[in-house]
Copies of this chain bind each other. A is one copy, B any other.
Amino acid sequence: MSVQGSMPLGEVLVGDCVEIMKGLPAGSVDMIFADPPYNLQLGGELTRPNNSRVDGVEDSWDRFDDFAAYDHFTNAWLRQARRLLKPDGTLWVIGSYHNIFRVGAGLQDLGFWILNDVIWRKSNPMPNFRGRRFTNAHETLIWASKDQEANYTFNYRSMKALNEDLQMRSDWFIPICGGQERLRDSEGKKAHSTQKPEALLHRCLLASTKPGEVVLDPFFGSGTTGAVARKLGRRWVGIEREEKYAAVARKRISRVQPGDPESLQITEKREQKRVPFGWLVERGLLEAGTTLVSYNGRYRAKVRSDGTLVTEGFSGSIHQVGAHVQGAPACNGWQFWCLNAEGKRVPIDVLRDKLRAELN
């Protein structure tokens, strides 16, 4: 058994990611973002029609003898990822058709529960020069919890806000990393061949973590995960096999302005403090005896001094009475019941909001 130290937050650890993960404490990570080698089987060089050479991925870290070797490697790092995650932590993995099916099946076999697969649609993909296939214009991300029962984090409201107040879909349109964002060496060459755009990590981190939580990236590369984590006030740990890339990442992240806590604060509705309906009556925001109307005008009920409602032959909480009159199994009374205000029906939820504001 290996000796397990504490989490080296804000550091890039250099070495084999499986071995290094073995030395980290179990259940200490809230989210893992992994961009493993793609197992690209490029047959020789790829050239453009005019013979200029495409600078593809041919680094030694991206070569595996066969699928069995790749599966073995995948299983090893996924096992460690699973061990390091907290019970409610989640895993993101990105890949292409060369490797993502093997990774997806592998993580399902280990008990991970897939929450979504997400498509990164590239605004500016490389064309298919030979005209023999469809332009490969996307990559696939898998988002998974440790098991089916996990109470994972999903910042629904933040995602909805990012998408013009419509639910965020599973297809994301984001440009590839280029221009000023792309890290280059002194000769102008790409510092890393598969640098991911910060916008992609921004969305993953914002969707599935809270400020201050711990994010691990076992294939750190040029450190995009660390840079965005710092920007978003998340804590991070990176693992990178090559010191060359680790150095690039450290320098890059040190220049990132950390996000200020206040602007990072987001409140999901489901996290707000509970306000019982009765408090509205106690506090005088609603008088006992007031008649409430259902949102569609079909039902009426009277408010009692203890915070229950009463309608013909039935009484109970706002939720119970709402469900009863509709003959429905459940009902959110806050949205169902309304006040008549200036001829318009207003959900009693607005009174709850008002009280919550007073209570702060």
Stretch in A19-27, A137-145, A228-236 touching the partner:
A137-145
**B171 contacts A121, C-beta separation under 8 Å:** yes
Which residues of chain A from 337 to 357 have any CB-CB distance to chain B below 8 Å in the complex?
none
Contacts known (A49-B332, A97-B116); A137 close to B169, Cβ less than 8 A: yes
By a CB distance below 8 angstroms, the chain B residues around A102 are: 101, 104-105, 108
Cross-interface CB contact of A117 among B114, B140, B336, cutoff 8 Å: B140
Could you mark each residue 106-132 of chain A with 1 if its beta carbon is under 8 Å from any beta carbon of chain B, else 0?
Answer: 001100001111110100010110011
**CB pair A331 B51 closer than 8 Å:** yes
Give the chain B neighbours of A118 by CB distance below 8 A: 134
A305 interface hit (Cβ, 8 Å): no
Taking CB atoms, residues of chain B closer than 8 Å to A207 are: 134
Contact of A156 among B108, B114, B116, B132 (CB under 8 A): B132
Which of A96, A134, A328 has the most chain B CB within a 10 Å cutoff? A134
Contact of B114 with A98 in the complex, beta carbons under 8 Å: yes
User: Is there an interface contact between A104 and B109, defined as CB atoms closer than 8 Å?
Assistant: no
- Given A97-B117, A101-B105, A332-B49, answer yes or no on A171-B138 (Cβ-Cβ < 8 Å): yes
A50 contacts B by Cβ under 8 Å: yes
A168 contacts partner chain B, Cβ-Cβ < 8 Å: yes
Instruction: Assess whether A128 is in contact with B167, with CB atoms less than 8 Å apart.
Output: yes
Answer whether residue A159 sits at the interface, using C-beta atoms and an 8 A cutoff.
yes
Chain B proximity of A148: nearest CB distance (Å):
8
Contact residues, A150-198 vs B (CB, 8 A): 154, 156, 159, 167-171
Q: How far, in Å, is A163 (CB) from chain B's closest CB?
A: 9
14 new A-B contacts, CB < 8 A, other than A67-B108, A101-B102, A134-B169, are: A50-B296, A51-B329, A51-B330, A101-B103, A101-B104, A102-B104, A117-B140, A119-B119, A119-B171, A127-B167, A128-B167, A132-B156, A134-B143, A138-B171
Q: Could you pull out 24 A-B pairs where Cβ atoms are within 8 angstroms? A: A50-B336, A51-B323, A51-B329, A67-B108, A97-B114, A97-B117, A97-B142, A100-B104, A100-B117, A101-B105, A104-B105, A105-B105, A118-B134, A119-B119, A121-B171, A125-B169, A131-B154, A132-B156, A134-B143, A134-B167, A134-B170, A135-B167, A135-B170, A136-B170
